[in-house]
A and B are shown apart, each in its own frame.
Chain A
């Protein structure tokens, strides 16, 4: 039984390259390269593994400005069959409710699918909202933090194992369904040049606008977002002693540190 899978991917600033100006506390954004959210590559890997095993197709979807095309090309390079970018000025300023709505509309327009796979969370906003919200819009069963999924013989149910803080849980879930993959579950496969070339030749990536998706503009972007940032302020800095050991002998440094901590009654040696 083949599986038609949709994976949500987000194009995010590479936070490991993000620096914060310690003087002003603001983000230094210049020259920060973007990447596919690493946890979404894990989700793509899961989708490709399922496709390798059961056949079917993998479609990657994203809501983002046109620059995110590079992200879709990247996952097509991994072996994803098709990419869809929901992109429109009217989508700007979306919170998670409005983002998930557009993604749900994209999925509805794709029409045929068995499974939607999301990443654990994004590294830029880390909300882990989108999976549950898409499930809510589409009225589908869902479960988070999946580490393993096996298609049952009937072809309509998936047995998933998921991880919580202190336990594994197993569910049998009727398809179509939405799952998110626990971070670090798989190592994403490499991009193959031949696949990437295919992306250039066959153009399997489409861009869908608000018109293509027939979305009420009041439901998308800023207008479709109940939450707004009403202000920003700075985190008060915790005052610290800022004493630094002067010298280069490690054992002396160790003695210095330990005597400080013992003096303060924080250590008893």
Chain B
């Protein structure tokens, strides 16, 4: 029997029709706007044009006014700014509360948040305070041609499939998006838009105190999402030692190393070097998959690699179906052979250059 759906008693009733505009939460870190936020502005622009509505950017913090026009250059029509000394330090509940206040006032139809670590911490709190749904790690956005509904799309359990997720009767439609899922739009200073300065009367007591920020010293390495050549290792390497070989190969080719989730889970390589659905999307010219079976969630992260090279001991490993060039064999033999031949070639070249 079709009965009228009763609303959860904890949810304030809303009228979804009143909600307009595609919003992006703009994350500021160390005086800069995070690239993930810029990427979302480009995608928000596309959706807003399709729905004939505006793109809104939310920037909050202290001393951030000079950044307020920046989102406009990347596609925003309106920028809602809260510049307030009480927001000098980031507290997830405090920042979340301020974004909720703005969203309650202006009623955006959608709100997108970059899937940085802070973004992933903040977004579900905002969604929950607004009693709306949220989709993590969406990979594309569509507008239903008939109903105008915004549909968020993400790979579920098996990444060969994509789930289309709708938000029934609640607004804004919310999602978080990992960095590099969408391209960074071109900055265009000729674009025009409106900066709206908002003030907040009462802010939440965060019940937290910010004590210390200590940057992590990292070797000057190219982040994997920017690398042209990636040598990536999986569970098949058998140990952390295996990565030394990969490192040597990567260095010879001017590339970097990365890994599968199993390699990360084993502690052989840090999480920020994980490729795949729950790691990073990479777009190198050459991606070497060494001892990686080729699970859907892994392949998802390399769909934009120009060429994929697979080195695997098992001729039936699915990675070969997803590779351009494959070598069946033990990496402990193949990688040293590659290193040797490359060294020979380099020697010949420098030799002939000298003559």
**A126 CA to B297 CA, complexed, in Å:** 12
The interface bits of chain B over 324-350 (1 if a CB of A lies within 8 angstroms of the residue's CB, else 0) are: 111111000110111011100110010
Q: Which residues of A contact B (CB under 8 A)?
A: 16, 18, 20, 22, 25-27, 38, 95-97, 100-101, 121, 124-133, 135-137, 140-145, 159, 163-174, 177, 183-184, 216, 218-219, 223-235, 237-238, 240-245, 248, 250-251, 253-258, 260-261, 264, 266-267, 269
State how many angstroms separate the Cβ of A137 from the closest Cβ of chain B: 7
Interface residues on B, range: 35 or more
**Cα-based distance from A136 to B341 in the complex (angstroms):** 58
Within the assembled complex, what's the spacing in Å between the Cα atoms of A189 and B143?
A: 48
Hey, which chain B residues are within 8 Å of A145, CB to CB? 117, 121
- Of the candidate stretches B57-65, B180-188, B201-209, B240-248, the one touching chain A is B201-209
Which 6 residue pairs of A and B lie closest in terms of their CB atoms, listed nearest first? A226-B133, A25-B160, A227-B133, A250-B337, A136-B128, A219-B8
B323 with A96: CB separation less than 8 A? no
Closest chain-A Cβ to B186's Cβ sits at a distance in Å of 25
Q: How far is the CA of A138 from the CA of B328 in the complex (A)?
A: 55
- Residues in A with CB closer than 8 Å to B210 are 169-171
B294, closest chain A residue (CB): A22
Choose from B164, B329, B345, B346 the contact partner of A248 (Cβ within 8 Å).
B329
Choose from A26, A143, A228, A253 the contact partner of B158 (Cβ within 8 Å): A26
Q: Could you tell me if A177 and B207 are in contact, using CB atoms closer than 8 angstroms?
A: yes
Q: Are A128 and B165 in contact (CB under 8 A)?
A: no
- B199-231 vs A, CB cutoff 8 Å, 1 = contact: the mask equals 000000011111111111010000000000000
* Most-contacted residue by chain B among A125, A177, A266 (CB, 10 A): A266
Stretch at the interface among B43-51, B77-85, B101-109, B314-322: B314-322
Chain B residue at smallest Cβ distance from A164: B117
Interface string of B1-27 (1 = CB under 8 A from A): 000011111110000000000000000
Q: Do the beta carbons of B129 and A136 come within 8 Å of each other?
A: yes
Instruction: Give every chain A residue within 8 A of B346 (Cβ-Cβ).
Output: 269
Q: Is the CB of B212 within 8 A of A96?
A: no
A92 to B320, CA, bound (A): 39
B5 A223 Cβ-Cβ under 8 A = yes
Cα distance A44–B346 in the bound complex, in angstroms: 53
Assuming the contacts A22-B321, A224-B8, asked whether A235 and B157 have C-beta atoms less than 8 A apart, the reply is: no
CA gap between A18 and B296 in the complex, in Å: 11
CB distance from A90 to the nearest CB of B (A): 12
**Alpha-carbon separation in the docked complex, A252 to B335 (Å):** 12
Give the docked Cα–Cα distance between A210 and B320 (Å).
49
Bound: A169/B214 CA distance, A:
6
Q: How far is the CB of A245 from chain B (nearest CB, A)?
A: 5
Quick one: given A20-B296, A244-B320, are A255 and B157 in contact (CB under 8 Å)? no
- Establish whether residues A97 and B296, one from each chain, have CB atoms under 8 Å apart when the complex forms: no
